[in-house]
Amino acid sequence: MRLHDLKPQPGAKHRRKRLGRGEGSGLGKTSGRGHKGQRSRSGGTVREGFEGGQMPLHRRLPKRGFNNARHTTYFIPVNVSDLDKFDADAEITLDVLRQAGLAQGSGEGVKILGQGSLSKKLSVKAQAFSASAKQKIEAAGGSCEIVERIPKTGPRAL
């Protein structure tokens, strides 16, 4: 096979519509725009969200009051039982958890939760700990260290 043998797949190429080239073409006279009306005329378009003079949806909806969602703190949850897969005496940080596939998504950091059990001594550095998680890690001989939160970005930062 050579370059001159190459051809596009059948049906991959087609001609563009040639408008206003007489009635016989099927797209003459009104050129597919129909009869009369705003969209039949040149420059006749409406802006996005325009509802023909009716009060648009974005103005009909109420926009008052306080929304607490932008002030919440969102942590990626990781259970104590998930930490049991690491080697003993390992130092667990956010980067280690991400590489292991345990801390997916975005948030202000990781919160270690107390579900499950831990049988190894681990040094865990996270943004938050539940009371039961802290108790289980320290009972196994490990240590818990709270590190600085990841700052929010954007309007809601989730």
Per-residue pLDDT tens for 15-47? 999 999 999 999 999 999 999 999 999 998 999
Q: Taking a C-beta distance cutoff of 8 angstroms, is the pair 83, 74 a contact?
A: no
| pLDDT exceeds 70 at position 157 | no
Residues 6+ apart with CB under 8 A from 138: 144
CATH of 72-146, one of 3.20.20.370, 3.100.10.10, 3.40.47.10, 3.10.28.10: 3.100.10.10
Going by pLDDT thresholds of 50, 70 and 90, the confidence category of residue 155 is: low
Q: What is the pLDDT of residue 33?
A: 93
On average, the pLDDT of the chain sits at: 90
- Stretch 128-139: mean pLDDT: 95
Cα–Cα distance for residue pair 116/122, rounded to 1 Å: 15
- Cα-atom radius of gyration of the chain, to the nearest Å? 31
Point out which residues pair with 113 in neighbouring strands. 79
Across the range 135-157, mean pLDDT stands at 83
